[in-house]
Amino acid sequence: MKNSVFHWLVLLCLTPLGVAMAQDNPDPNDLLANAGLEAAEHEVISLWEERAPGDSSVLVTGMRVDSGDNLPPFDLYFNSHGEPIARDTLRELKIAPKDWDAPPVTQPSASDIPGASVKAAQTPPVTGKAPLDLVALPPLDLEALKKEDAAREKESLKGVKRIGVFRDFDEPVRVEGANVSHGAWRKTEAGEKVWSLSFYSPEAEGIRLEFAQLDLPEGARLVVYDIFEPEVAVGPITAIPEGDDVLWTPTIFAEEVVVECVAPAGVSVDEVRIHTDQLAHQYVSFDTLTRLKAGACNLDVACYEDWLEESYGVGGLGSIGRSGVLWCTASLLAGGAGDDVGRLLLTANHCLTGSSRSPGNVEVYWFYQRDECGGPIPPVTSVPRTTGGADALMRVAEHQGTDVALLRLREMPPEGVTALGWSNEPWEAWTPITGIHHPQGSYKRISFGDIRPFEGAAASGIVPENYTKVVWNAGTTEPGSSGSPLLLDDQGLLIGQLWGGEASCSNPLGPDYYGRFDQSFPLMKNWLFEPGEHPADVNNDGAVDSLDIQIVINVVLGLSAPEGVTEEDVDVNGDGKVNALDIQYVINAVLGIK
């Protein structure tokens, strides 16, 4: 109860504030100071970022704080300026208090999610008119890049796999109405106006273009395609997604691509604004990764039929990070409410390092695996892909929590993808577990092992309470496996995602570390369930918790209820009176007592 009262008083003292985007890399000590708390007297247990369910454009920073003095921890929230957010504002944003002592919950896997039909995808129309101009970049020093990558991977405890780098243009490309820096507008016989430009990056395995500005009049479209195979195209693209600073096109697996903008007959080009000054050059071939990079001790998931359904929920994650194009592993989660069903993607937060606050650049590769044991490996260019990016619902860094990111895909994954079940229970040492992942960016593999006790110092200072230590008995993980799911052997339920570790084919007994799902669960809970009505949810925030207890106590003591909470809400047992019976009812609900 001390925690309830203290947290309640802290939040009541905060001034309601306008809320915008969350702060970039906030300093925990600065946030404590802004809340009127001494850093020397308080320990920040966890620091996270979450999207407000009541306004999806808003991201806030959450902080769990331990004040010592035998008082339980409490939570605070901050806006983009690092200012504390008042309780009433949190309620308006539908950010519910976190249930850090949530009872055990198990969500089964789902293999019947309403996935997008692969056959329904259509190639966007292109005019095919040869571009009048070319942006040609010089060759890359591939040997130098490979040496950089080898050094990075040697220093890293697994981490992401870099597969591409940024390349700046000598002169930025600008289209501002009829004024263009490259090429020219032309008319077709049908009266359409077309501007196109070719981009050539020698020996590129794939190209992604960045658009810092993209404004098109209604009816106009932008398409990007392989110059030699125009049917290999992405689009139509009409704008930078809301909430994103820039737009990165999906990967076109070619070394020369064409950007084509088409304005229909009767539509003026005066409003067209296109700005781009760099592209991402993928220099690592997935075929090369498959043949040469992944260690020989890796096990082919196709050879383990009992795990095929779960394997269909694991995908390769391509993203744009600070150092270039990155590769990780991610998994689709079962659960969610409304349109979120079939769109919730779990990965490691470090897989999105350097991504925009809303990672609109991610693309997910599904079914990149053999159809049968020993069968042919599908070209990665042939597997279904979910493009269009995602929104970050919640993110926690490795040293401030469990290195987890929960994303909501903007497009549905394809038919046949499994949404993985999960469990929020803690699991003891020696529990058998399984990992499914994409080592080194290659096709899907599987590993078998068990949970081990933490002994001695944790790797790189991570907090042991937030991670599961694993040692493999067969198979391993490698760079590119980051973010992949840890699954219970007997139930196939997800209990964490890979942060990193020392395991490899040359160090088979080296430990790996997975962010614990049970520790991440309180931050994801609101996204994993359909909101339900409960009479003990007095303040109607979607959670039955200590705040509901405190509201009823206050009313019984003669204090007024918060704005928006009615007398009917506080009369929990519906007997027409607000008294100790209502207090006991809510306490029992919080404790899970029927």
Q: Domain containing 434 — which CATH number?
A: 2.40.10.10
SS3 percent helix, strand, coil of the chain, rounded to 5, is 20, 35, 45
Domain check: are 276 and 139 in the same one? Answer: yes
Q: Is residue 85 part of a domain?
A: yes
| Domain that includes residue 250, residue range | 134-282
464 lies in the same domain as 589: no
Dist CA 169 CA 138 (whole Å): 10
Cβ neighbors of 91 (< 8 A, separation 6 or more) are 539, 541, 562, 564
Give the end of a domain, one of 519, 550, 577: 519
C-alpha–C-alpha distance, residues 151 and 146, integer Å = 9
Q: In the prediction, which pLDDT does 9 show?
A: 34
> Tokens 């991201």 correspond to what residue?
59
Enter the DSSP assignment of 111.
S
Residue 465 CB-half CA count within 13 A = 5
Q: Where are the extended beta strands (E) located within 42-160?
A: 43-52, 55-66, 74-78, 106-107, 134-136
- pLDDT at site 571: 84
Alpha-carbon torsion (142, 145, 146, 147), positive or negative: positive
What digits encode the pLDDT tens for the residues 229-264?
988 888 899 999 888 889 999 999 999 999 999 999
Domain count, the chain: 4
Q: DSSP secondary structure string, 411-473? A: SPPBTT--BB-EE-S---TT-EEEEEE-GGG-S-EEEEEEEE---SSPGGG--GGGEEEEEEE
CB neighbours of residue 97 within 10 Å: 23
If asked whether residues 150 and 266 sit together in one domain, one would say yes
Per-position pLDDT tens, the chain of length 594: 333 333 333 333 333 333 444 455 688 999 999 999 988 889 999 999 999 888 888 889 999 999 887 788 889 999 988 999 987 888 888 888 888 887 788 889 998 887 776 655 566 778 877 888 999 999 999 889 888 888 877 766 677 788 889 999 999 999 999 999 999 999 988 889 999 999 999 999 999 999 999 999 999 999 999 999 988 888 899 999 888 889 999 999 999 999 999 999 989 999 999 999 999 999 887 665 444 467 889 999 999 999 999 999 999 998 887 777 788 999 999 998 888 889 999 999 999 875 444 588 899 999 999 999 999 999 888 899 999 899 999 999 888 899 999 999 999 999 999 999 999 999 999 999 999 999 988 999 999 999 999 986 666 768 899 999 999 999 999 999 999 999 999 999 999 999 999 999 999 999 999 999 999 999 998 898 865 556 778 877 767 778 888 898 988 888 888 877 888 788 887 777 888 888 888 888 777 665
Residue-wise pLDDT for 8-31, tens only, equals 333 333 333 334 444 556 889 999
Shared domain check, 429 and 457 = yes
Task: Specify if 205 maps to a domain.
Answer: yes
180 lies in the same domain as 269: yes
Same domain for 504 and 546? no
Whether residue 247 sits in one domain with residue 144: yes
* Cβ atoms within 10 Å, residue 16: 12
Structure tokens at 565: 């909470």
Task: Say yes or no: 473 and 562 in one domain.
Answer: no
Supply the pLDDT for residue 534.
Answer: 67
User: What is the residue whose two structure tokens read 């990165």?
Assistant: 248
State both tokens at 397.
Answer: 């860094």
> Cα–Cα–Cα angle for 214, 219, 224, nearest 5°?
50
Q: Are residues 549 and 470 in the same domain?
A: no
User: What is the amino acid identity at position 520?
Assistant: S
Closest by CA position to 263, among listed 209, 222, 211: 222
Residues 512 and 537 in one domain: no
CA distances from 391 to 264, 359, 408, 410, 529 (A): 32, 6, 5, 7, 18
- Looking at this protein, which amino acid is placed at residue 524? M
- Determine how β-strand 445-452 pairs with β-strand 494-501: unpaired
pLDDT of residue 380: 87
Nearest-angstrom CA–CA distance, 517 and 550: 29
Residue at 86 is within a domain: yes
Tell me, what's the pLDDT at 357? Answer: 47
The whole-number pLDDT of residue 515 equals 96
Adjacent-strand bridge partners of 517: none
What tokens does 427 get? 């699991």
CATH number at residue 538: 1.10.1330.10
- Alpha carbon dihedral 17, 19, 25, 28, in 10-degree steps, equals 30
